[in-house]
Chains A and B, each alone.
Chain A
Amino acid sequence: MSASNGSGPARFAVVDGSKFYETATGRVHALDGIDLDIDAGEFVAIVGPSGCGKTTLLWAMSGLHPLSGGEVRLDGEKIEGPHPKIGMMFQDANLLPWRTIQKNIEFSFEITKRTPDRRRIDELLDRVGLDGCGPKMPNELSGGMQQRASIVRALAFDPDVLLMDEPFGALDAFTRDDMNVLVERIWLETQKTIILVTHSIPEAVLLSNKVHVMGARPGRMISEFDIPFERPRPLELVETREFFDLVNEIKAEIRHQMTPDGTHV
């Protein structure tokens, strides 16, 4: 993407990451011995049963909360708090409803007291099909359009790493397909390092180069699957035998983590 004028993509790693929570009912061991090594410009997905700590891991990687043990490293630099090279997309669009789309996108610049790159923002809005939507309020936009605005917001300050926390969970199937196509296109154009946390295994397989499977209680890495399909990947890919088999293999791996009555081990 020509708008990508920041530094190149980054190598991102979690080294022996663990996390404990103190709750009213006692100590929760949320993450244990997480090792994750993500190459610069790679697109990885993290899947796992609900409650396995996917989101906890992602928030730790974004610097939003600290790990109890181990560390997160970006190009060798230890991440100890929110970092300007790491962009985060949250569950749902998470737009601030009292700000226009333009003001939402410029929010990060306002916080860091930098002048927003209007040309870049306009270009991004244009690419995701939101040209002219800047002055609109979020509630004037459909769910899919809000999600597009949220993507622009995450890309506006040109981070090297983009963390996506179940961003399309609330969208209907068709809009979700649209978003998947858009995200792949953006990744192909920008070659940013993207880490996608999702409940949808087909989504993980469709988008990523590598799917990491997590197990629950404590959350840990169980296995990883290389996704060999060529880019760009058409939506029809999901109907092929190879895709289907790979999705089922990953599903079986996750189900393996659960006891027959559906609870986690």
Chain B
Amino acid sequence: MSTKTLDKIPEFDASEEVAHGASGVGDMSSFASGTGKRSAAEFAAILLVAVVVIGGLEAYLRIRDVPDYIFPTPSAIASALWSEFPTIWPHLVDTVFQFAIGYSIGAAVGILLAATITQAPFAEKIIAPYILILVTTPMLALVPLLILNFGFGYAPRVIACALAVGPMVMINSATGFRRVDLGKIALARSYGATTLQTFTKVRVPMAMPMIIVGLMIGAIFGLLTTVGAEMTAGGFGLGSRLTNYSAVLRMPEFFAVLVILSTFGILIYSFFFWLGQRLVGWQS
């Protein structure tokens, strides 16, 4: 929501306006329009709903006497999380390690590829179908093949993660790099800017909102693929714990791993939310 006003007319609560503006998926205003100041009343309401939902679930499962292997109570999950954490911890480290490497490779290649091919529209036309194939192919399906080729170590999971991240980052970043504002590029050129200066000082900042969207979607996809690969490959990593615990019907532990995974996912989302506010807050 742009709130342009005429000269000397005071703005009324522009921040409120922005915070309540509608925002869709992939719309960076969802990053920029932060929930900056949360009042005590709002915070209490959020806490209350959380207590009601979790408490209600606990009560329902106890009253109906639902067995643990069907659906464990929140309290059972919490205690499993507490007691099993020392066992789960090394697997968490493995997952984070694999994800971090796969993601870094995938994201770097994705951004570089997007930055280069958008400069050459013809090359882009040639590469586009392959990128589309990579985006639409579930990289999880390749894990058995990757295991055959690279064994049961870190390699197949890291590769699967990178393959899932790269195309997502690329396709979004490319959209950003394609957003050409001729007036702004002409402005830089009128000062005698080199191609490199035009790129770093105009094209990159202009593409930044979409790059961050790509990095976030890529991170979520990368995490999903890493965990999926671990489920298939087994042995180590949080994904392997999911298959192990469910195989032996240790559902509280199974859910404890899920809690760790969603916490990790939320941390990723929050990080990019923060990054978006820092870097592309000018969008709102």
Residues of A within 8 A of B (CB): 59, 62-64, 81-82, 84, 86-88, 90-92, 94, 96-98, 107-108, 110-112, 137-139, 142-145, 157, 172, 174-175, 178
Contact = CB atoms under 8 A, between A and B. Distances in A.
Contacts of B202: 96
Given A84-B192, A96-B202, A98-B282, A144 B6 contact: yes
Given A62-B190, A64-B190, 15 more contacts: A64-B189, A86-B190, A90-B183, A92-B183, A96-B205, A97-B282, A97-B283, A98-B205, A98-B280, A110-B201, A111-B192, A111-B193, A139-B284, A142-B4, A143-B4
B188 interface: yes
Nearest to A153: B187
Contacts of B4: 139, 142-143
Give 10 nearest A-B pairs by CB, closest first.
A111-B191, A108-B191, A82-B192, A88-B190, A144-B7, A98-B282, A98-B205, A111-B193, A94-B183, A97-B282
B15 to A, nearest CB: 11
Contact of B187 (A84, A94, A98): A94
B191 A172 contact: no
Question: Which of the four size classes fits the interface of chain B?
Answer: 20 to 34
Contact of B191 (A92, A94, A98, A112): A112
Nearest to A97: B282
B2 A112 contact: no
Nearest to B9: A142
Given A64-B186, A90-B186, A142 B192 contact: no
A87 B205 CA distance: 24
A175 B8 CA distance: 11
A97 B213 CA distance: 19
B35 interface: no
A116 to B, nearest CB: 12
Nearest to A178: B7
A174 B6 CA distance: 10
Contacts of A98: 205-206, 208, 280, 282
A156 to B, nearest CB: 11
Contacts of B7: 142, 144-145, 174-175, 178
Contact of A137 (B9, B183, B201, B282): B282
7 contacts: A59-B186, A82-B191, A86-B190, A97-B283, A107-B201, A111-B192, A175-B7
A91 B190 contact: no
A111 B197 contact: yes
B192 A94 contact: no
A60 B189 CA distance: 13
A91 B183 contact: yes
Contacts of A94: 183-184, 187
A110 B187 CA distance: 13
